[in-house]
Copies of this chain bind each other. A is one copy, B any other.
Amino acid sequence: MDVEQYMQQLGSQARAAARQVAASTTAARNNALLAARDLLDAARPELAAANAEDLQRGAANGLEGPLMDRLELTPARIDTMLEGLTQVASLADPVGAISDMNTMPSGIKVGRMRVPLGVIGIIYESRPNVTVEAASLCLKSGNATILRGGSEALSSNLAIARCLAQGLEQAGLPAAAVQVVDTTDRAAVGRLIAMPEFVDVIVPRGGKGLIERISADAKVPVIKHLDGVCHVYIDEGADLDMAESIAVNAKTQRYGTCNTMETLLVHAAEASAILPRLEQAYGSAGVELRGCERTRAIIAGAVAASEEDWHAEYLAPILAVRVVDDMEQAMAHIDQYSSQHTESIVTADHGRAMRFLREVDSSSVMVNASTRFADGFEYGLGAEIGISTDKLHARGPVGLEGLTSQKYVVMGEGQVRT
């Protein structure tokens, strides 16, 4: 197979399909999603067979436990995929919404209309359910997609793609609006990220290494998420019950997510009161503590934190803890070590709450809430294609709106410029 030519073809098909999808009705796109859902439901045996192929090949290639687990399309995961399609179909259509329409001194009316981005390339690792999730969000927002999943999941992804294509056709939309790259050749990724004539934006989903490589080489914009080194700062005078509850939840509710707290900052005035309580709570949850000197003076069992710990995204039951003199020092620490994902202050002071909200330069900044809320569903976006740690275009959880842009629309009655 000539990968260059193949990707060129996928790209040009996607570009043509994108025009049709952008001009399609909301009803047609919803119908395609619901038809795909029913087709996937009816294709459970085929999905199982395709997935078994992937699993067998994975086992033969010595794929490790967690990767094998992510690869598996259990009946429950298929149920979740189907529910996801129903849910995405029920979301409001972002496309075509006109906002901020105002009349200018010249008499023209100027507003902004939300429009699809065009063609979105999604690059992801082993989970085949991402195929449905990403394709449905792109389609709902009026875009065409080219999906490049992990090569270990190729059979499953192609089986899913067949149902999606059929669903599109049943709804009178072009099958090429959703295409799965049908080759395991790595050169396909290199092409996908370097065809600005056919692809408008790349959304990589996966580990930091994958995303850094893609960002470095891409010739099109990338909506990306690097890491989540999230902080909670317990302020002087904070309600300590609230502080304990948030600090425990932010760390222990799930360890492997990007919005999990990795470093806890505690005002010196509260350290001796709150740290022993937290030591007990984290102890019973099995969380290892790594602290600064002042922390270790209170929590004797804490390991000494090294410079590396302040940078670490553990994604594990480990927490770095630092005692700070005041909010200034907490914000300076965040400024130095945070990945600008999510930070939260626990405070009773309105002025400091507002300063923290304003001055901390992260995609989500919170007052008196767990960092675990940084999520498209919890934010009411109805869906999430990822969380952006970039500043331009989309920042924080990215829902349907992040897959669109706004153009200016002008309504005149014959006005000319003088």
Residues of A within 8 A of B (CB): 19, 22-23, 96, 102, 104, 106, 108, 110, 113, 115, 117-118, 200-201, 221, 239, 241-242, 245-246, 248-250, 253, 335, 344, 357-359, 361-370, 372-374, 378-380, 390-393, 395-397, 405-418
Residues on B with C-beta less than 8 A from A200 are: 391-392
- Residues of chain B within 8 A (CB-CB) of A412 are 366-370, 373
A409 touches B23 (CB 8 A): no
Can you list the 9 inter-chain pairs with the closest CB atoms, starting with the nearest?
A369-B412, A249-B416, A242-B414, A366-B410, A372-B417, A393-B393, A368-B412, A392-B393, A364-B408
Chief secondary structure at chain A's binding surface: mixed
Contact A359/B22 with A368-B413, A414-B239 known, Cβ cut-off 8 Å: yes
Q: Which residue on B lies nearest to A110, using beta carbons? A: B379
Q: Which residues of B contact A361 (CB under 8 A)?
A: 19, 22, 115, 118, 407
A368-B415, A370-B416 known; 11 new pairs, CB 8 Å cut-off, are A102-B380, A108-B366, A108-B369, A113-B358, A200-B392, A201-B391, A221-B221, A366-B409, A369-B414, A379-B408, A397-B408
| 22 pairs from A and B in contact (CB 8 Å cutoff) | A19-B335, A23-B358, A104-B379, A115-B358, A118-B391, A200-B391, A201-B391, A246-B414, A246-B416, A363-B407, A365-B408, A368-B414, A368-B415, A369-B415, A369-B416, A370-B412, A370-B416, A373-B410, A373-B415, A373-B417, A374-B408, A378-B417
* Residues of chain B with a CB closer than 8 A to A373's CB: 106, 108, 410, 412, 415, 417
B residues near A364, Cβ cutoff 8 Å: 407-410
Give bound CA distance, A149 to B55, whole Å. Answer: 58
Q: Which of B245, B369, B406, B407 lies in contact with A410, CB distance below 8 A? A: B369
Q: Which residues of B sit under 8 angstroms from A392, Cβ to Cβ?
A: 117, 200-201, 221, 392-393, 405
Nearest residue, chain B, Cβ from A95: B358
Closest-CB distance, A258 to chain B (whole angstroms): 14
Closest chain B residue to A102, Cβ basis: B380
A19-B335, A110-B380 in contact; A417/B370 too (CB < 8 A)?
yes
With a CB–CB cut-off of 8 A, which chain B residues contact A249? 416-417
* Residues on the B chain within 8 Å of A406, using CB: 395
B378 touching A104, Cβ below 8 Å: yes
Residues in B whose Cβ lies below 8 Å from that of A397: 408
Residue in chain B with minimal CB distance to A107: B369
**Chain B residues with CB under 8 A of A367:** 410-412
Q: Are A396 and B391 in contact (CB under 8 A)?
A: no
In the complex, which residues of chain B have a beta carbon less than 8 angstroms from the beta carbon of A118? Answer: 361, 391
Q: In the assembled complex, which residues on chain B have CB atoms less than 8 Å from the CB atom of A390?
A: 221
> Shortest Cβ distance from A173 into chain B, in angstroms?
15
A335–B118 Cα distance when bound, in Å, is 13
Q: For residue A18, give the distance in angstroms from its CB to the closest CB of chain B.
A: 9
| Candidate in A250, A357, A366, A407 with the most chain B CB atoms within 10 angstroms | A407
Query: A245 to B416, Cβ gap below 8 A?
Result: yes
**Partner of A106 from B102, B239, B250, B378 at Cβ < 8 Å:** B378
From B22, B362, B370, A407 is in contact (CB under 8 Å) with B362
Given known contacts A364-B410, A396-B408, A416-B253, is B242 in contact with A108 (CB within 8 Å)? Answer: no
Measured between beta carbons, the chain B residues less than 8 angstroms from A416 are 245-246, 248-250, 253, 369-370, 372
CB neighbours of A110 from chain B (8 A): 378-380
A349 CB to nearest chain B CB (Å)? 14
Cα-based distance from A168 to B417 in the complex (angstroms) = 37
Residue on B with the closest CB to A254? B417
Q: Is the CB of A359 within 8 A of B410?
A: no
Complex CA gap A397/B406 in Å reads 12
